[in-house]
Amino acid sequence: MAKLVKTKVEVEGEVSEEYALVQEPLTTPWDVEEELKVVGKPVPRVDGEERASGAAHYPSDIRLPGMLHAKFLRSPYPHARVRRIDTSRAEQLPGVRAVMSKDNAPATPWNNKRPIFDDVARFAGDEVAAVAADTLTIARQALRLIQVDYEPLPFVLDPEAALHDDAPKIYPDGNLLDGEPTKYERGDVELALAEADVVVEGTFETPTQVHNSLETHGSVVTWEGDQVVVYDSTQNVFGVRDCVARWLGLDRNRVRVVKQFMGGGFGSKLGTGKYTVAAALLAKRTGRPIRFFLDRTEENIAAGHRHATRQYLRVGAKRDGTLLAIDLRSYTALGAYSAWGAAVGGPARELYNCANVRTYEYNVFTNIGPQSAFRAPGYVEGMFGLEILMDELAGQLGMDPLELRIKNYAARSPLNNLPYSSNGLLDTYEEGARAIGWDKRQQLDRTGTRRRGIGMASQIWGGAGAPPSYARVQVQSDASVTVITGTQDIGTGTKTILAQITAEELGVPLDKIRVEIGDSEWGLYSILSGGSMTAATVGPAVREAAADAKGQLINLAAQFLQVRPSTLTLNDGVIRGVKRRRPIEKRLAEILGELGDIMVIGNGSRAPNPDGVAIRTFGAQFVEVEVDIETGAVRVIKVVASHDCGRILNPLTTSSQIEGGVLQGMGYALMEQQIVDPKTGVVVNPNLENYFIPTMLDVPEIQVHMIDRADPNINNLGAKGVGEPPIIPTAPAIVNAVYDAIGIRFRSIPLTRDRVLDALERQQTSDIRQQTGVSG
């Protein structure tokens, strides 16, 4: 009998209470010490051959007969009124099949309650119209024939400037999301700062980081009978299904969303795209399949990014290093549409044991493209300021930076005083320090023109997973197994771990198992793939379904063999037991084969998370860098990434995720930034030529250290998520290592050569001044 429960759900740092319908669980967590057969092993991906052979079909590869190509017309101005739009010449171009603009699009509200094509453009790149044509070339030509009468308006790019009374208003009721900052306060921060022996403060700035997933955002939409089918590069097939159903006024079972493979998302593909809805509307209008994919420029200006921040941070401590107060005021540049700001104050609120904490987060609309979730949104930005200032505090106190962190370790969650379900933070410190040679860092060479240094930073994040998630394990009469659930693999290896979990629980070989995900048509709901939730959400449901199927198989075999079920086991696809003191051994396939076309169907759902504990992932990264003081180049030599995410389901794919997170964090620290021209409001580097991401030649040695200890107090796997944690500490660890190398404390990234050279020059000038006694 299914039960209705209320459960806490955390997505991308935001916690909410939700209902979930769950069954009485059949499984209990595997023993912490238990050596499992398949789970925890470095199993190569079950869909590896498709990826390596070019056979994998990505949404952008879909070609359908009669398919049209669609493009958006985008505003050249960062802020403008769209007074009049004339599409008649475009419509007359041969090969153009439909043009959609504010004059003929449905009025259904899109983001921020504005229509899909509004009469105001709010960033350079905002969608003004859409065209569907026989070829991409014709669609592009048609865009040039649309005449728009724009009235340019004043615009604002800086989030703090956008709060001034005389700033251009992007929305009638002002530029501050919700009209006030998100406020959090515990204790008395002002009093604690006044009483502190040492107070350090700083202003930190982080850049706009673009996901630049290699596959751009896009969909192919077609009608099949009374159902609309959407092939979408999405992290959320059910979210897209529901949104398209709403827009077209269809029941959810009339919309099918398919995503077998996708070329990256990193959080930017959690929502439904305007291109998807536009493609669905155009497909309806033209009766033809529509392919609507963004190009690389559009991907950079209009498909989401990590918002830039400015953070004013103060930290007060006692002489012995005890933290007394943390005070953060942060401003995030949301862009023109995003209706949420990421939790920049998260690390300040929960990383350390500190009685007095205040965070005011101002999420501000600005005239650039909308921000979206980007791998650990908010925590990446917030950890940057906090962990650099912690190092500075250690310096002021004459303490080892690691000692300072250990001293302020929070044994219970500072947010609610609950104990953690498990917490390996101290282990990750110890492990990381040992692996990098933390105690020997004084011996590094800092004399020549290439100076070495070591730094570190901590990590905290969610990753608990949550209901609802449903799974089915079907056993066919040849004993092959199909696992069906509604999640999607965004590149992490989801299919593989689900196959491993099934093999382990059911007792059948891995190569007999096929996992079907990424298709809303299977109907088994599962939450979006974000917030490091997939493994810990879907995995437990699949294990439940496998346990259900196994129970039925044993029962069935017992009836067939005329023995008691309790005497039978199922392992490696073989039923074993005892009958009248004689051992029986029979392949499952043999038994089922004699029963005709029967089928065993096991169902499972994700049980709620336990009450009374805080569930978090923890980690620390230690970095060695080399700074060339002649060229300003910062080179990362080595990264030790030490993380505690509970039980590791597959060390091979887990280490891939950790390495990937580290490299994106390294890009953030050293080279990535979207640049907007302050005069025109236009992005000047909307491509991979001028927006730099790490290449093979930038890659340091990365040592992955997984604590790999099952958390007995969470779900039936003992596993937490790992997708986002590894990007969180990288940037501050690099900046702290640079300080160790050259004695300069950077408060803004990326550490481009010009920035480093400037700082070195200023350092030299002030050295000379100090030596010669000149002040000022």
Partner 1 sequence: MPETPIYGPGRVPVKLVVNGQTHLLNLLPSETLAEVLRGELGLTGTKVVCGMGDCGACTVWLGSKPVYSCLQLAIDCQSQPITTIEGLKRNGELHPVQQAFIADDAFQCGYCTSGQVMSMAALLERNPDPDEEAIRSAVAGNLCRCGAYPKIVRAGKRAAEMLRVSKEREAPGE
Active site residues: 724
**Encoding tokens for residue 273?**
């795209």
> Rounded to whole angstroms, how far apart are CA atoms 274 and 699?
36
Asked if 84 is part of the footprint of partner 1 (rule: CB under 8 A), the reply reads no
> Rounded to whole angstroms, how far apart are CA atoms 184 and 623?
32
Q: What is the closest distance, in whole angstroms, from the C-beta atom of residue 490 to ligand FES in the complex?
A: 10
Quick one: 60 or 363, whose CB is closer to partner 1?
A: 60
Within 479-498, the residues that bind ligand FES by CB under 6 A are 491
> Rounded to whole angstroms, how far apart are CA atoms 109 and 112?
8
Q: What is the closest distance, in whole angstroms, from the C-beta atom of residue 511 to ligand FES in the complex?
A: 24
Within 53-92, the residues that bind ligand FES by CB under 6 A are none
Within 681-720, the residues that bind partner 1 by CB under 8 A are 687-689, 693-697, 699, 702
Task: Report whether 630 contacts 449 (CB < 8 A).
Answer: yes
Task: Report whether 89 contacts 145 (CB < 8 A).
Answer: yes
What is the side-by-side strand order in the sheet with 481-485? Answer: 513-516, 481-485, 470-475, 600-605
> Rounded to whole angstroms, how far apart are CA atoms 712 and 717?
8
Q: Which does 663 bind (CB under 5 to 8 A by kind): partner 1, ligand FES, none?
A: partner 1
Q: What is the closest distance, in whole angstroms, from the C-beta atom of residue 491 to ligand FES in the complex?
A: 6
Asked if 214 is part of the footprint of ligand FES (rule: CB under 6 A), the reply reads yes
Please state, in angstroms and as integers, the Cα–Cα distance from residue 683 to each residue in 77, 168, 673, 748, following that order: 11, 19, 11, 20
Judged by CB under 8 A, which stretch of 57-65, 345-353, 382-390, 739-747 contacts partner 1?
57-65
Give the Cβ contact number of residue 528 at 10 Å.
Answer: 25
What is the side-by-side strand order in the sheet with 701-706? Answer: 450-461, 617-628, 634-644, 701-706
Give the Cβ contact number of residue 435 at 10 Å.
Answer: 15
Question: In sequence order, what E strands does 259-355 have?
Answer: 290-293, 309-317, 323-335
Q: Which does 459 bind (CB under 5 to 8 A by kind): partner 1, ligand FES, none?
A: none
Asked if 246 is part of the footprint of partner 1 (rule: CB under 8 A), the reply reads no
Quick one: 377 or 723, whose CB is closer to partner 1?
A: 723
Q: What is the closest distance, in whole angstroms, from the C-beta atom of residue 656 to ligand FES in the complex?
A: 9
Site string for partner 1, 471-500 (x = CB under 8 A): -------------------xxxx-------
Quick one: 214 or 355, whose CB is closer to partner 1?
A: 214
- The residues, any chain, with a CB within 8 Å of residue 225's CB and separated by 6 or more, are none
**Encoding tokens for residue 664?**
């994106």
Quick one: 107 or 696, whose CB is closer to partner 1?
A: 696
Judged by CB under 8 A, which stretch of 261-269, 428-436, 610-618, 745-753 contacts partner 1?
261-269
Q: Which does 15 bind (CB under 5 to 8 A by kind): ligand FES, partner 1, none?
A: none
Give the Cβ contact number of residue 688 at 10 Å.
Answer: 14
Query: Residues binding ligand FES: what is the number (CB under 6 A)?
Result: 3
Q: What is the closest distance, in whole angstroms, from the C-beta atom of residue 636 to partner 1 in the complex?
A: 13
Question: Which of 657, 715, 716, 736: binder of partner 1 (CB under 8 A)?
Answer: 657
Asked if 739 is part of the footprint of partner 1 (rule: CB under 8 A), the reply reads no
> Rounded to whole angstroms, how far apart are CA atoms 532 and 12?
8
Within 237-266, the residues that bind ligand FES by CB under 6 A are 264
The DSSP bridge partners found for residue 357 are 186, 326
Peptide bond before residue 468 is cis, with ω within 30 degrees of 0: yes
> Rounded to whole angstroms, how far apart are CA atoms 291 and 68?
6
Binding site for ligand FES (CB under 6 A): 214, 264, 491
Binding site for partner 1 (CB under 8 A): 44-45, 48-58, 60-61, 63, 211-215, 261-264, 266, 295-296, 490-493, 652-653, 655-657, 659-664, 687-689, 693-697, 699, 702
